[in-house]
Structure 1
Amino acid sequence: MKAVATVVMNRVRVPFGEYHRVGQGDIRKVIFQKGQFDCVRSVIRGISNPQTIWANPPEQIHYDIADWALSGNRLFTVGYSLWYFNPFKPTCPYTFPRNGTGSFQVRVGDHCFYNPTEKYAQT
């Protein structure tokens, strides 16, 4: 959860590229940017999403991690990652997303995390 919180805050703080342009440093714009986080989408691929933030009330651990991230903390192993995903494989592809704007940083549990490349600055 801290790794994902780090990605969210990296998107809030990134000084260039798409997330800077769209999010403008506003955490709400970052979280609710279309197609970014499944937990804020009520429908995914035409099917109702049961894992929304509205269907699953937060527990104390969620508040604690949000406070941790909003206080400026981050997982240094995640670096400046702007993306993460579960490849459902034992290995992580070197680049992600498909347009090559991210390069592999670290795997945390089942998820692969990606730092922005120079190409990302052009987005």
Structure 2
Amino acid sequence: MAYSDRELLARLIECEAGGEGDTGMKAVAGVVMNRVTVSGGEYARLGKGSIRNIIFQPYQFVCASETEGGVYNPQNIYNMNPTQVHYDIADWAIAGNRLPDVADSLWFYNPFSASCRARFPSDVGYLQIKIGDHCFYNPTNAYYKT
């Protein structure tokens, strides 16, 4: 049986930001939902209001992939066991809630360093904020031409 959108989002939240506390998990959930609802650019064409399409877009979320570089990825959404907090945050984001600091963010990544790149990916996103180990990026006008 296929997972519901809620289940997929809860699993992705746990996998991508489970160790980042409520704020980090809400920020990651907000990025996913921002991609689902963005009015233009690549994600608007792909997402069409679908959490599933956004999560499983190739090369976007490491946790959505069972293999990375041809090697099994044990930290994937199928191996997650979300708890009530993950479902609560998924419900919160699906209902349209966002953290003010990441209200428009479409990307996040963990740089594995103390600093974040100014632009990510390439020049279509600019640094908005770092929360925990993740850097969050809002779209530039160039994103809407993708």
TM-score normalised by the chain length of structure 1: 0.95
Structure 2 CA distance, aligned partners of 1:81 and 1:12?
Answer: 12
| Aligned twin of 2:46 | 22
| Aligned twin of 2:110 | 86
Give the 4+ runs in structure 1 shifted more than 2 A. none
Structure 1 or 2: larger helix share?
2
Structure 1 CA distance, aligned partners of 2:31 and 2:110?
Answer: 14
Structure 1 CA distance, aligned partners of 2:97 and 2:135?
Answer: 20
Counting only pairs closer than 5 Å after superposition, residues 31-42 of structure 1 correspond to structure 2 as 31-42=55-66
TM-score normalised by the chain length of structure 2: 0.81
Structure 2 CA distance, aligned partners of 1:14 and 1:79?
Answer: 11
In the TM superposition, what whole-angstrom CA distance separates every residue of 1:80-119 from its partner, at most 9, and x where no partner exists?
0100001111111110002x10000000001100000011
C-alpha deviation, 1:79, in angstroms: 2.5
| Aligned twin of 2:142 | 119
Which blocks of at least 5 consecutive residues in structure 1 are unaligned? none
Percentage of matched positions with identical amino acids: 56
Which blocks of at least 5 consecutive residues in structure 2 are unaligned? 1-24
Count of residues in correspondence between the two structures:
122
| Aligned twin of 2:28 | 4
The amino acid across from 1:119 in the alignment is: A
Structure 1 CA distance, aligned partners of 2:79 and 2:41?
Answer: 32
Secondary structure of the residue aligned to 1:22 is: helix
8 A Cα contact 1:79 1:105, kept in partner:
no
The amino acid across from 1:107 in the alignment is: K
